[in-house]
A and B are shown apart, each in its own frame.
Chain A
Amino acid sequence: KQEVTQIPAALSVPEGENLVLNCSFTDSAIYNLQWFRQDPGKGLTSLLLIQSSQREQTSGRLNASLDKSSGRSTLYIAASQPGDSATYLCAVDSGNTGKLIFGQGTTLQVKP
């Protein structure tokens, strides 16, 4: 049974700092992994999608890596800004049914 864990649960950093959010999964047989952002009371915004054959994806200040063999993904945020404050969710797609298994999320606060 696939389980997804995100560490830390919460993170508070000063503006401008580079930071890393961690995601681990128990079954390395994944189809893809997707990082989402959720603002309070809002829906999920897709940030990056990494297919199982890929090692990383980049979008602006965001970089996500995937190491299937160790069951880990990281989301790197460069030069953090207060607008980056949100909950970041990692989700793993493990099979043909398209079922996403989510982590509990990391709530990030970037202080001005």
Chain B
Amino acid sequence: DTAVSQTPKYLVTQMGNDKSIKCEQNLGHDTMYWYKQDSKKFLKIMFSYNNKELIINETVPNRFSPKSPDKAHLNLHINSLELGDSAVYFCASSQDQARPFGYTFGSGTRLTVV
């Protein structure tokens, strides 16, 4: 019954590797997002997609590439991982751009690059 689910929950990997984080929502929402929470717990948007179309790309290095195969899924692929990519990544969704009910967040993926 999880509304927004992310996998994996934890990810430990070496510098230079490529990894993906998957996100799925079963709320029927049209818009999905990726947020990054840094070591100081500050949350900042990375991307948003509305019905598979990229809406926001918040000056994120092009090593990060979101992919939305359909409006229920928004995956995040990261190439050539760096130490500074270590953070918690949150997926979220909202009911179209009117957002009458705000946002629903997933439980996060803790990425550790060693």
CB-defined contacts of B99 to chain A, threshold 8 Å: 31-32, 93, 98
CB-defined contacts of B33 to chain A, threshold 8 Å: 98, 100
**Structural contact, B101 and A100, CB atoms closer than 8 A:** no
Given A98-B94, A102-B42, A104-B41: A43 and B106 within 8 A (CB)? yes
Q: Is the interface of A mostly helix, strand, loop or mixed?
A: strand
Choose one: A31, A51, A100; the contact of B45 (CB below 8 Å). Answer: A100
What 0/1 readout, one digit per residue, does chain B (82-114) give for beta carbons within 8 Å of chain A? 000000001010100101111111111010000
Q: Is the interface of B mostly helix, strand, loop or mixed?
A: strand
**Structural contact, B43 and A102, CB atoms closer than 8 A:** yes
CB-defined contacts of B48 to chain A, threshold 8 Å: 97-99
Q: Does A58 contact B (CB under 8 A)?
A: no
- Chain B's nearest CB lies how many Å from the CB of A56? 15
Choose one: A31, A46, A98, A105; the contact of B41 (CB below 8 Å). Answer: A105
Nearest chain B residue, comparing its CB with the CB of A99: B45
Q: Does B25 contact A (CB under 8 A)?
A: no
Give complex CA distance A41, B43 in Å. 14
CB-defined contacts of A36 to chain B, threshold 8 Å: 105
Given A89-B43, A99-B48: A43 and B107 within 8 A (CB)? yes
Q: Does A42 contact B (CB under 8 A)?
A: yes
Q: Does B31 contact A (CB under 8 A)?
A: yes
**Structural contact, B42 and A42, CB atoms closer than 8 A:** no
Q: Does B77 contact A (CB under 8 A)?
A: no
Given A97-B48, A98-B31: A44 and B41 within 8 A (CB)? no
Q: Which residues of A contact B (CB under 8 A)?
A: 31-32, 34, 36, 38, 41-46, 49, 51, 87, 89, 91, 93, 96-100, 102, 104-105
